[in-house]
A and B are shown apart, each in its own frame.
Chain A
Amino acid sequence: MKNGLITVVVLLLLTALPAFSESVIVKAPSTARYAESVVKSALEETGYTVLTSDGLSAFAITLDESKSLEKEAFSITVADKAIALSGGGRRGLIYAAFEFRDQLRATPKLDDLLDAAKTPALGFRAIKHNLPWESYRSSSALDQHFESVRSLDYWRAFLDMMAENRFNALTLWNLHPFPYMIRPNNFPEASAFTESELEDWRHFYTSLFRMAKERGIETYLVNWNVLVSKAFADAHELEGTNYYPYYKGRKDQVGEAQTSELVKKYTRESVTQVLEEYPDLTGFGFSFGEQMGGMTPQERQSWIDDTIIAGMRAVDRPVKMIFRAPFSAGLGQGGSTDKATETLTREAIERLGDTFDGPIWMEIKFNWSHGHSTTDLIKVHGGELKDTYFEPVPENYRVAWMVRNEDFFALRWGSASFIREHVQKNGVQPYVGGYFLGSENYIPAKDYFTAREGEVEWSYAFQRQWLFYRLWGQLLYDPETPNSQFEHDFVYRYGDAAKSLLRAYEYASDIQLKFATSIDFSWDATLYSEGMMVIGRQGMEPMSVRRLIAQPTLRSDWLSVGDYVQRELAGDVIHESLMTPPILARQMRSDARSALAIVKRIPADSVSLEYEIGDIKIWAYLGLYYAEKLEGAMALERYELAGDASDKDAAVAHLTRSLDYWDDLIEISEPLYKPMPLTHHNPPNNVRNDDNLFHWSKLRPAIARDLEVAIAAEYEPVSSTKRLDP
């Protein structure tokens, strides 16, 4: 660590030398303090002297908001020694400042600074960040973040990261935020806190919202319904368990909703009071679940109209709204869609007209809980989405795709091409306004992954995943952002040799995307890509060879192992446009080899870089492992259907190699990663599972069983004939 630090300092001194003695004046209006501070620290970091008062200076940098620029747009204009940073509004100016910083980091001489101008492609670029109190699920994987998330230092860092990546909205999700923020005027019994405890919470939330505002970041609370505090439920002896840790109706999720008028009043008034007591809070979002079992879609809509929307409407200031697409078209809460519910929902939003500071952001989960899979929209929460929300083009709302990440928390990820393609396919329609990025089962606060504690430069989990946020944020703002910009980021962090890491991440991340696309997932815990795990009867488990044979894929143009082998044995011609398991295996292997080849050439001369390289290696070995498993599964299926002993041998050979790769993966990951609590280990109900640690090493016995399965496989002609029969 110490050595690394010295190297960085020396490096900085060397690169900064040409500018060392030059002085700069920075002029900014008082409304642009944050942008000004970004510019000044960039200058100081590069070695320029920022003059505090007027005097002779080599450069003059002026920051100002410009009326001629569209909202969030910015420009940098260089005229000899005068540099003008202009922004469309406060946010645009902040982006100009970061652009200036990034240029300076790439070329540390003001003389070499280039003109720049950008406008946003998408107006809404949000982070979904869950809170560890009243969390959606109850899990030590979430609880462990309490201290970090209560710390304003954490938020300062997180919000800085958001601002520099041009995310413009922070959405904060938990079951029931109100009693942490207010003592409801008419329901003081709802808050279990003492006055001084509540004061601490108030200070926390107020500061968080203020800091976000300073950085040009909107803030939203998003809750679930119908929920109350336990203190409220106890005071009024409510039937049911509509409070943390119960996030779903108790039993079969039907007939459990709490529809009492008292709860409606409490909800409505709490929404109003929160928005009134926190003037820097931008808006509110709401869910049509998960404790709305037994209600019809119309009843759910009416409940929301009467409570949250009415509460928001009652506030005498501009308020923005996130309207989440309903999860269910029936009485249950499990997830379903239909045209009638979509029509009802669209009408409900359109009825709001321009009551709110629009557009209303209609949140729809892109490919349910596993948006990091394919760039084509296959399903939303509950199933297929019709075009009701899109046609005709809505006037008062815009769709904001929720791209969830329930797939990689430990491993760094970054596929610029996936994001660009995603935005090009799904972000250009007139009804689309933007994206949400984030997780339900993961909070990017405490670093509970890193085994080499004390040796790394980051403090928080999200800082490990800097590339993920960098790519998503910058490319949502401008999908044309070239790869060179991200390569500069690597160079800035790790030196010239690290430039090719971007490409290595492309390959590594592609393995994850392909794995996810090959599985017909649905809700959060149906898939966990970085563990190559799926949900089984006993909970999360590695994809077994038997399951893999039968496993349907997400896309209809991807063939499952079982389908493919049957067609192959039947002599069917398989159209070349289809993705088959052999092609998938080949591509995964190729991705893995390419990634490994790149990182092999990069000297791991810092612990941080060791982790970057380590993560790429882990992804690569996951790819190699899975390619062998795919091939093993195909061979096993061929053997069991056709009885050719060489197929059995092949299966055993592939699965042996597969296990070998897994062992390599364990060897790479063990020194880097601790066993990590994983929310996915909770069963699909309100029960908490504290036996929830994940590490690749823990999966070895299950993976070794696949080999035993292949060794023990027997050809049974009768049953296989039957199986061949259509």
Chain B
Amino acid sequence: MITLQLSQKSLRMSLALSVTLLVFLSFAAQGETVYILPDRALPQAEYASERLKQELKTSGYSIVSSPSEYDHLISLSVNDVTLGVEAFSVIPQGKILTIYGGDGRGVIYGALAVAERLRNGESLSDIEPFAESPSLSLRAIKHNFPWDSYRPSKALDQHYDTVRDLKYWEAFLDMMADNRFNALTLWNLHPWVYMIKPRNFPEASPFSEEELVQWRQLHEGIFRMAKQRGIDTYLVPWNIFVSKEFVAAHDVGHVNTYPYYNTKADGSELIKRYVRESVAQVLEEYPDLSGLGLSHSEGMGGWMPEQRDAWLKETYLAAIQSVDRPVKLIHKVPSSAGKSMDGSTSVETETLVRSTLESIDYVDGPIWLSGKYNWSHGHSTSNFVRVHGGELHDTYFKPKPTNYKFVWIVRNEDFFALRWGVPSFIRDHISKNGRASAIGGYIVGSETYIPALDYFTAADVKPTWRYAFERQWLFYKLWGRLLYNPETPDSLFAQAFTGRYGAAGRNLLRAFELASATPLRLASFFDATWDHTLYSEGMLALGDKTLDYISVDRLISRPTLDPDLVSIADYVNAERNNTSLPEQGVTPHQLAETLESDCKEALGLVSEIDPDGDLALTYEIADVRAWAHLGLHLAEKIRGGVDLELYRQGAPESHKLSAVTHLEKALAHWDDLIEVTRPLYRDMRLTHTIGSSKSLNPDGYFHWSHLRPDVVKDIEVAKRARIE
């Protein structure tokens, strides 16, 4: 208690100190003039200097346009002699501060790094020389469109207006540039008719001329703003899809149109021509679009991999060859090695893909060959287990590829509401999976979630953020900055918290590191495959057909994803049969122990923070708590599960009693979770509620409070347990 009071006091003191310091610093800057010397030949320089100007003005500097009388000159330019692509260095020399980038992107990163320092309270005169260079070349965001979306769901539809608004994109792209993401990949079933009226197929367009103009402005705006920010843009459609209007006019592709998404192939020549011409026309009419993604799915059911490969060659690849401009290419690892679209892999299919890739010498390389890291649940373990469909063989890596690089798609289908940030997980991930020379980078994002409309926040006070992704700022900052430079220290992220919340924010990074490890631990322990098979923040998983609370019984029987973890069933089996467990395997008890200790520490770290009316800080604290309660719930459920299974396998009655006790504690933590989240979170639409078929509940809602009866059921299950 005494310690606590002391720390509270020192907290206030340091807060006062930093406020004084900030006042002093901005006073020092007050009235000082800055001349920004851009590189007028560099397309990205204007953006870099505009962002820098905004930050300088906020810090009390005034911007002058005369190149002779100034207190500070900031020079922005490319220096590709001493710097590689995307690298930057900041060199202060008296009143001249030079920001060099190895290219336009590097210049932006350098300028934004200086802006970040100003935001964190440094003055121009304080800045010491510093430099950074990228570790991975592709640092991409996967962002789905809510029109012609992969699945039909109100959870996706609800973003329509927001994603149609260029203001949203401006903010999103600013965030990407701040975090050094360099590629935006835009995914939906069939983007073409939203962008062009196909010259030879005007009947395919669903829009009036006026409507199409608006769509054009949107797409052009996104691509243009991305380019200004040094961000590449890719369209990643699925195949084979057409527009409803095309179907109506030509009587083909009846199941190849939204909302069908996992469907049969239609190999009509007319469709091929329509797709080939549409792709070429889009590339021609949108010169700022960087490239395309190739999908051997999901409307290619009933075909063999060779047919899919041939179709893509005749359509996309032919179109790319026909246009007179550089085109970049993402090639998705096919999700099926057979006729169905349900997911499988084979060496033969990999060999086919490799041979196609190696025959492509006409794109602006390297080609990014993308594979899903641990299928749809990359936020699990940093140990690689599988891609979509199963095992990844070494076909793509041996011999070493020359014209393509492999990139990991790390999906997040696991937490949309709660803020997340575990820097050690990302660092570990990159260290294990991002270091090989054949690896080109990462694509981070979701299929079942669009980070646009904030459909979470229940507070009646108007939040300071506008969009969903702004709530998850830490997620993007950690992924972006660590992909660029995995050596980025925690202190930088900690400063981001104190920059936002003052001294009150200083424990938050550590608290998130501890508490938001919970969904990673669940996803590592509870094996999952495709999108709906797990929703970690809701403790939900796909049952037979529906998305259900992960009951104690399912937890017991489910194999783990991470081979380093031991499932409850295996653990109990080994205990009962006295067989040995895998060496260094983490037992369910050890996992529960870690969860409990981390979550308790996290709760301690936030227990004394007074948000003092700051809504954002209130949410940050609440999310730490929510994760912590969820983690404590999971710990108790694991313990309960072990005791329950031991009892069922013949252990003494005391195990049953212990199981009941643990599950009752689990319920108590769930109730804590509801208490924290109910006032702050609305009932939230969730794509996962579709379950195993699109015919099921596409318009479902989620909130932890609705699951309480299922949590209670676990106690009943334990109480009713019998020795088998």
A interface residues, Cβ below 8 angstroms from B? 185-189, 234-236, 260-262, 264-265, 268-269, 302, 305-306, 309-310, 313-314
Give the residue of A186, A235, A265 whose beta carbon is less than 8 angstroms from that of B68.
A235
Instruction: List which B34-64 residues lie within 8 A (CB) of chain A.
Output: 37-41
A-B pairs, top 6 by smallest CB distance, nearest first, are: A261-B98, A235-B68, A310-B81, A189-B67, A306-B81, A185-B40
Question: B75 an interface residue at 8 Å Cβ cutoff?
Answer: yes
Q: Contacts A186-B40, A188-B67, A236-B96 hold; do A310 and B80 have CB atoms under 8 A apart?
A: yes
Q: Are A265 and B98 in contact (CB under 8 A)?
A: yes
CB neighbours (8 Å) of B256 from chain A are: none
B94-132 interface bits toward A, Cβ cutoff 8 Å, 1 = contact, 0 = none:
101010100000000000000000000000000000000
Docked Cα-Cα span, A314 to B77, in Å, equals: 13
Whether A235 pairs with B100 at a CB distance below 8 angstroms is no
- Give CA–CA (A234, B69) in the complex, Å: 10
The residues of B that contact A260 with a CB separation of less than 8 Å are 93-94, 96
Is B602 close to A, CB under 8 A? Answer: no
- The answer to whether A189 and B79 touch (CB under 8 A), given A261-B93, A262-B98, is no
B82 interface hit (Cβ, 8 Å): yes
Q: Which residues of A contact B100 (CB under 8 A)?
A: 261
With A310-B80, A313-B80, A313-B81 already in contact, 6 other A-B pairs whose C-beta atoms are closer than 8 Å? A186-B37, A236-B96, A261-B75, A262-B75, A262-B93, A306-B81
Contact A262 B40 (CB under 8 A): no
Q: Is B317 an interface residue (CB 8 A)?
A: no
Q: Are A185 and B67 in contact (CB under 8 A)?
A: no
Q: B73 within 8 Å of A by Cβ?
A: yes
Are A185 and B68 in contact, CB atoms less than 8 angstroms apart? no
Give the CA-CA distance A125 to B403 in the complex, in Å.
44
Tell me the smallest distance from the CB of A267 to a CB of chain B, in Å: 12
Chain A to chain B contacts (Cβ below 8 Å), 10 pairs: A185-B40, A189-B68, A234-B68, A260-B93, A260-B96, A264-B79, A265-B37, A269-B77, A310-B81, A313-B80
Interfacial chain A residues near B98, Cβ < 8 Å: 261-262, 265
Question: What's the Cα separation between A306 and B80 when bound, in Å?
Answer: 8
Chain A residue with minimal CB distance to B100? A261
Q: Which residues of A contact B37 (CB under 8 A)?
A: 186-187, 262, 265
Q: In the complex, which of the residues A185, A186, A235, A269 has the most CB atoms of chain B within 10 Å of its own CB atom? A: A186
Interface residues of B (CB under 8 A from A): 37-41, 67-68, 73, 75, 77, 79-82, 91, 93-94, 96, 98, 100
Query: Closest chain A residue to B92 by CB distance?
Result: A261
Taking a contact as CB atoms under 8 Å apart, the answer to whether A236 and B68 are in contact is yes
Which of A189, A306, A309 has the most chain B CB atoms inside 10 A of its CB? A306
Query: In the assembly, what is the distance between CA of A618 and CA of B136, in Å?
Result: 75
Chain A residues with Cβ below 8 Å from B41 are: 185
Contacting pair B81 A261 (CB below 8 A): no
Q: Closest B-chain residue to A188, C-beta based?
A: B67
Contacts A269-B77, A306-B79, A306-B82 given; indicate if A262 touches B96 (C-beta within 8 A): yes
With contacts A186-B40, A262-B96 taken as known, whether A236 is within 8 angstroms of B77 at the C-beta atoms is: no
Question: Which residue on A lies nearest to B96, using beta carbons?
Answer: A262
Residue of B nearest to A260 (CB): B93
Nearest-Cβ distance from residue B12 to partner chain A, whole angstroms: 42
Pick from A189, A265, A306, A314: contact of B75, CB below 8 A: A265
B70's nearest neighbour on chain A, judged by CB, is A236
Say yes or no: B39 contacts A186, CB within 8 Å: yes
Contacts of B81 in A (CB 8 A): 305-306, 309-310, 313
**Interface core residue of B77, B80, B93 (most chain A CB under 10 Å):** B77
A235–B66 CA distance with the chains assembled, in angstroms: 9
Complex Cα–Cα for A310 and B79 (A) = 8
A186-B39, A189-B68 known; A265 vs B77 contact (CB < 8 Å): yes
Cβ B38 vs Cβ A262 within 8 A? no
Chain A contacts of B77 at CB under 8 A?
Answer: 186, 265, 269
Q: Shortest beta-carbon distance, B695 to chain A, in Å?
A: 58
| Nearest CB on B from A187, distance (A) | 7
Give the Cβ gap from B120 to chain A, nearest Cβ, in Å: 23
Distance of A261 Cα from B81 Cα, bound (Å): 13
**Chain A residue nearest in CB terms to B89:** A261
State which of B38, B67, B68, B91 has its C-beta within 8 Å of the C-beta of A261. Answer: B91
Please, how many angstroms separate the alpha-carbon atoms of A487 and B412 in the complex?
90
Q: Nearest-CB distance from A121 to chain B (Å)?
A: 37
CB distance from A270 to the nearest CB of B (A): 13
| Residue from A185, A234, A236, A306 in contact with B73 in the complex, judged by beta carbons closer than 8 Å | A236
| Nearest CB in chain A: distance from B474 CB, A | 34
Bound Cα distance A557, B39 (Å): 59
Residue of A234, A265, A310 ringed by the most chain B CB atoms within 10 A: A265
Cα(A187)–Cα(B98), bound, Å: 15
Which one, B38, B93, B94, contacts A186 given CB within 8 A? B38
Q: How far is the CA of A302 from the CA of B82 in the complex (A)?
A: 9
Bound form: Cα–Cα A302–B39 in Å:
22
* Separation of A302 and B100 alpha carbons in the complex (Å): 15
Q: In whole angstroms, what is the CA distance A236 to B81 when docked?
A: 24
Which of B67, B80, B82 is A187 in contact with, Cβ under 8 Å? B67
Write the chain A residue with the least CB distance to B42.
A186
Q: Which residues of B contact A262 (CB under 8 A)?
A: 37, 73, 75, 93, 96, 98
Most interface-central of B38, B40, B73, B75 (chain A CB within 10 A): B75
For A239, the closest partner residue in chain B by CB is B94
Cα distance, A186 to B91, chains bound together (Å): 19
Residue of A235, A262, A268, A302 with most partner-chain B CB within 10 A: A262
Return B64 CB to nearest CB of chain A, in Å. Answer: 13
CB neighbours of B40 from chain A (8 A) = 185-186
Residue of B nearest to A305 (CB): B81
> Closest CB of chain B to A167's CB: distance in Å?
33
Closest Cβ–Cβ distance, residue B140 to chain A (whole Å): 28
C-alpha spacing A235/B93, complex, angstroms: 16
A234 to B67, CA, bound (A): 10
Report the minimal beta-carbon distance from B326 to chain A, rounded to whole angstroms.
15
Chain A residues in 8 Å Cβ range of B96: 236, 260-262
Query: CA–CA, A691 to B460, complex, Å?
Result: 89
Bound-state CA distance A313–B80 (Å) is: 10
Q: A242: shortest Cβ distance to chain B, in Å? A: 15
**Looking across the interface, which residue of chain B has its beta carbon closest to that of A189?**
B67
A309 partner residues in chain B, CB cutoff 8 A: 81
Indicate the member of A189, A236, A261, A309 with the most B CB atoms within 10 Å: A261
Contacts of B75 in A (CB 8 A): 261-262, 265
**What chain B residues lie within 8 Å of A186 (beta carbons)?**
37-40, 77
Residues of B within 8 A of A264 (CB): 79
Whole-angstrom CA separation of A261 from B93 in the bound complex? 8
CB distance from B92 to the nearest CB of A (A): 9
**What's the Cα separation between A262 and B80 when bound, in Å?**
16
Min CB distance B409 to A, Å, is: 36
* CA–CA, A189 and B73, complex, Å: 14
Give Cα A680 to B268, complex, Å. Answer: 87
Q: B80 → chain A, closest Cβ, in Å?
A: 7
From residue A182, how far is it (CB to closest CB) to chain B in Å? 13
Q: Contacts of B38 on A, CB cut-off 8 Å?
A: 186
A261 nearest CB neighbor, chain B only: B98
CB of A269, distance to nearest CB on chain B (Å): 7
**Which of B68, B77, B81, B82 has the most CB atoms of chain A within a 10 A radius of its CB?**
B81
Chain A residue numbers with a CB within 8 Å of B93 are 260-262
Report the separation of the CA atoms of residues A313 and B82 in the bound assembly, to the nearest whole angstrom.
Answer: 13
Chain B residue contacts of A314, Cβ below 8 A: 80
Partner of B67, one of A235, A305, A310: A235
- With both chains docked as a complex, state the minimum distance between the C-beta of B651 and any C-beta of chain A, in angstroms: 72
Which residues of the partner chain B approach A310 to less than 8 Å between Cβ atoms? 79-81
CA distance A235 to B41 in the complex (A): 22
In angstroms, Cα B74 to Cα A236, docked, is: 12
Give B111 Cβ to nearest chain A Cβ, in Å: 15
Q: How far is the CA of A314 from the CA of B93 in the complex (A)?
A: 25
B contact residues around A188 at 8 Å (CB): 67
Residues of A within 8 Å of B67, CB to CB, are: 187-189, 235-236
**Chain B hits for A261, CB < 8 A:** 75, 91, 93, 96, 98, 100
Q: Distance in Å from the Cβ of B306 to the closest Cβ of chain A? A: 43
